[in-house]
Amino acid sequence: MDPVMCLECYGDGFIITCCDDLCQSESGCIHGDGEEICCECDGEGYIYPPADPIDEALERM
Question: Using CA atoms, how far apart are residues 40 and 46, in angstroms rounded to an integer?
Answer: 9
Would you count residue 6 as binding Zn ion (CB under 5 A)? Answer: yes
Nearest residue to 44 via CA among 28, 4, 17: 4
DSSP H or E segment with residue 15? strand 14-16
Judged by CB under 5 A, which of 5, 17, 20, 24 binds Zn ion? 20
State yes or no: residue 35 binds Zn ion (CB under 5 A): no
To the nearest whole angstrom, how small is the minimum distance from the Cβ of residue 56 to Zn ion? Answer: 25
Tell me which residues touch Zn ion (CB under 5 A): 6, 8-9, 18, 20, 23, 29, 31, 34, 38, 40-41
